[in-house]
Structure 1
Amino acid sequence: MTYRKYMVLTLMLCVTAATAKDIRMLNVVDGAETIDTPMFMVTHEKPFFGLAFIYNSVQPVYLIDDEVTFIDPEGTLVVPSEASYVGWKSRYQLAMISLDKSMMATFKNNRLELKTDAATSLNKTVGYTDSVSAFSELKYAHLWGWLRSIALGIEWLLTTINNAIGHWGWSIVLLSVVMKFLLMPVGLMTLRLQRNVSKNQTLLAPRLLEIKQKYKGEKAHNEMMAAHKELGISPFYTLKPLFSNFIQIPILVAIFNALGEMSALEGQGFLWVHDLSIPDALIDFGFAVPLLGSSLNLLPILMTLITLFSTIYYRNDLAPASETKKQKVNLYLMAFAFFVLFYPFPAAMVLYWAMANVLQFIQQKVLGN
């Protein structure tokens, strides 16, 4: 491409940018108007890095009654005529426009094009999702309906706790304690199943070792199946604790969505944490580390140290020594994975998980492994 073509392309982009309006400044649509992605929703004083980048995004949406439909930001879509609202949603904020029956709305490259036959007043809503009850369906709209209901329930519980004690940081700590007690039956069931797994491993270990030394291939497989049958142990006995753990996963997903999207946490401090809605950055590096971000965050380090401390003291008297060693290796790897996962996320989420790890260690010491 020649220099002149570069200049023409740059001029076209500038003209396009100039013709796109700020949603807050536009009050009337006369003929056709192009509305840009709201810059106040795009601009972040402290953007998120790594896997937490989702909190930087602004998602175009439209509503038909109470049903929310997300739009591909980089595609082109003619909004259905039955849509009642169209606009953008970010982590905390929304910018929505009420669609008049005479309007035709098209999203193109994350810009909204509105066309009308005659001058039409623009009915718009700009603000925090939490403070606009008319758009409550936008909250956790990316979750399945039943999972969204759990997230709303967690939000209600955390708000109720905060109304009682008046501090969001300690409310999150107490939420972790409350959820630990509520999930205690599932935790005890998992512990019982894990103990059964350890007992079965102890029974099977010498038989399986003997079979591996004597046989190979299909013969070894058949002998192993026979050993399981003789001892009355299902070949899939190790999967039972996993199934009970799956019960807790949707609840954890709901908790982290609530802690990530509650605007009430914005600007709330706790101990050394200045703002629970962002990472607890102690030192800014001035450059970004892949997956981790551009700051030294203390909470994820403490969370990981708690997990490592718990793993060091982990023992399983019911399982063979080799199996206990394998379990410890898996716990160390999990601690590293969670460190990378949680490091760039909001401090509220890391605080909850760190407290959950403390409670898990206490349970481990009281009830055993």
Structure 2
Amino acid sequence: MRLEFSEFGDLVSVQACLPGCEDSEAISQQFSSYRGFVSINRDSDNLFTFERHDGDHSFQIEFRNLVSGESRRWRIPHRGFLLGLEISRPQGVSMASGEDFRPRAVNGFSAWLESLRYVQIKEGTAHLFDINESVSMPRTSNDWMGFKNRFWVAMIRPEQATRVTTRDGSELNELQLDLHSTAAAPHRFTIYAGPVEQHALEDANAELGAVVYSGLWQWSGWLSGAFQSALKTIDSMIHNPGLGIIMLALLLQAVLWPVSMKAIELWAGVRETRARLAPQFRSVDSRYRGQQRAEHITAIYRQENVHPLYQLKGFAGLLVLIPVLVCAFQALAENIWLYEMKFLWIADLSLPDAAIELHFGLPLFGNHVNLLPFIVFAISLSASWMLHRSRARTLSNPIRWRKVYGLPILFLILFYTVPAGMVLFLAVTIAIITLQLLIRSKRAPG
């Protein structure tokens, strides 16, 4: 970290770097505002003296008022992102995000990922609040409170009973916490200003690990963390995050291959059963109504030895596949190591690929043509056609259009503003599913 202090002992700015500020390719974030990142109320503008005391793992700097004797002592680690603050007198403390902490200018889903939020860690669980929520709540000494953007977070924990007030920052797109305590001095605070990265957070304090994947169930957070660790391991070997995402998708689909093939078999079986029963159901619908219709439908199920809820079998394999894929997407969404990483024409894997710039913008979609979602559209259209081609000639045009083109168009719309790393993973996944459909069609009789 690189720190700047005022002559009164306020922490004006923090430059946090991952892995370290000495690395020329480090990812960095500036924490600062017009008042300073962490500012301490004062009664006068009397001068403060400055002293530094070095230690093995950290050093201290102390600011002391020449008139009142008031002191502000900071503990700064040689490595890591955890700071300590001790104030000799009861004083209000403020922590503000500043202009550099604002989200990047993107649209749609990516804008939601980039949005600013307040964070509270209570009893081991992280709770998120919108930027426009102005909340005032009493805090106990073991509560963390702060704010985050997509990849960086600032958290503060008082060691004494303290009231923390969050300010509505929606107009300025900035966040601020005001801390006040009437407890006896000295007042002590622990501050984290660093990346939303599992190891960095937990190395600073075990409770801070709750910030990562805070919106997920515990088991899904573990799985997302495992995917992120796997991607980091792959990237450390090949030094190409784009290829790393492709390899992660291939490895995951290799592990899930039996489950995916079984899901396709079950779904194909449901479709075949539906096609076999459809003529009989149409005949019953044309001849009977009400109770008679229900009795004949039940008789058909019994005669064909089919359970009335047979269509649920088609979703059995998806109960395994979908949660795993959601966790993989979450791992990519919160992966700070993809920040400003290039791949092919993609300038930043953590943002939409923005292949072509337009001279106009569309609401929610922005002013760029994103190429990867169209690749996903083409691949998913191939898979959809393969899935429905056996019955395409028997369907009326509107129904055929909806069945063949509906899901690919939905993918195009939903994933158009999604970060490129996530869409790249989706493209590889759907390509493998298309291959599985092709293999299944070759094996199918006739």
Q: Structure 1 length normalisation: TM-score?
A: 0.85
Residue 261 (structure 1) shift: 0.7
1:325–1:187 Cα change, 3 Å: farther
Contact 1:211–1:224 (CA<8 Å) still a contact in 2?
Answer: yes
Residue 232 (structure 1) shift: 0.9
Q: Which residue of 1 aligns with 2:66?
A: none
Question: Which segment is superposed worse, 166-175 or 281-290?
Answer: 281-290
Give the greater-gyration-radius structure (CA). Answer: 2
| Other structure's SS at 1:351 match | helix
| Other structure's SS at 2:139 match | coil
Contact 1:64–1:82 (CA<8 Å) still a contact in 2?
Answer: no
Residue 328 (structure 1) shift: 6.6
Contact 2:228–2:331 (CA<8 Å) still a contact in 1?
Answer: yes
Q: Which residue of 2 aligns with 1:41?
A: 101
Gaps of 5+ in 1: 1-18
* Distance of 1:185 and 1:313 partners within structure 2: 20
Q: Check if 1:70 corresponds to 2:162.
A: no
Q: Which residue of 1 aligns with 2:18?
A: none
* Distance of 1:177 and 1:326 partners within structure 2: 34
Contact 1:21–1:35 (CA<8 Å) still a contact in 2?
Answer: no
* Distance of 1:202 and 1:348 partners within structure 2: 39
Q: Check if 1:143 corresponds to 2:202.
A: no
Contact 1:76–1:107 (CA<8 Å) still a contact in 2?
Answer: yes
Q: Deviations over 1:16-41 (max 9, x none)?
A: xxx98432566776522443344322
Residue 87 (structure 1) shift: 0.8
Question: Which segment is superposed worse, 103-112 or 254-263?
Answer: 103-112
| Other structure's SS at 1:86 match | strand
Q: Deviations over 1:316-365 (max 9, x none)?
A: 65999449995773341111111111111110001011111211222222
Of 31, 35, 39, the residue aligned with 2:91 is 31
* Distance of 1:362 and 1:305 partners within structure 2: 14
Q: Check if 1:114 corresponds to 2:175.
A: no
1:50–1:229 Cα change, 3 Å: same
Q: Which residue of 2 aligns with 1:127?
A: 194
* Distance of 1:144 and 1:330 partners within structure 2: 34
| Other structure's SS at 1:78 match | strand
* Distance of 2:388 and 2:135 partners within structure 1: 57
* Distance of 2:241 and 2:128 partners within structure 1: 31
Q: Which residue of 1 aligns with 2:68?
A: none
Q: Which residue of 2 aligns with 1:221?
A: 294
Q: Letter of the 2:364 partner, please give it.
A: L
* Distance of 1:39 and 1:149 partners within structure 2: 33
* Distance of 1:83 and 1:60 partners within structure 2: 17
Q: Which residue of 1 aligns with 2:328?
A: 255
| Other structure's SS at 1:98 match | strand
CA RMSD across the alignment: 2.8
Contact 1:202–1:318 (CA<8 Å) still a contact in 2?
Answer: no
| Other structure's SS at 1:173 match | helix
Q: Letter of the 2:96 partner, please give it.
A: D
Q: Percent identity?
A: 24
Q: Which residue of 1 aligns with 2:280?
A: 207
Q: Which residue of 2 aligns with 1:98?
A: 157
Gaps of 5+ in 2: 1-32, 41-84, 169-174
Of 237, 240, 246, the residue aligned with 1:164 is 237
* Distance of 1:108 and 1:151 partners within structure 2: 32
Of 87, 106, 128, the residue aligned with 2:146 is 87
* Distance of 2:113 and 2:36 partners within structure 1: 22
Q: Check if 1:183 corresponds to 2:183.
A: no
Give 1 or 2: higher helix fraction. Answer: 1
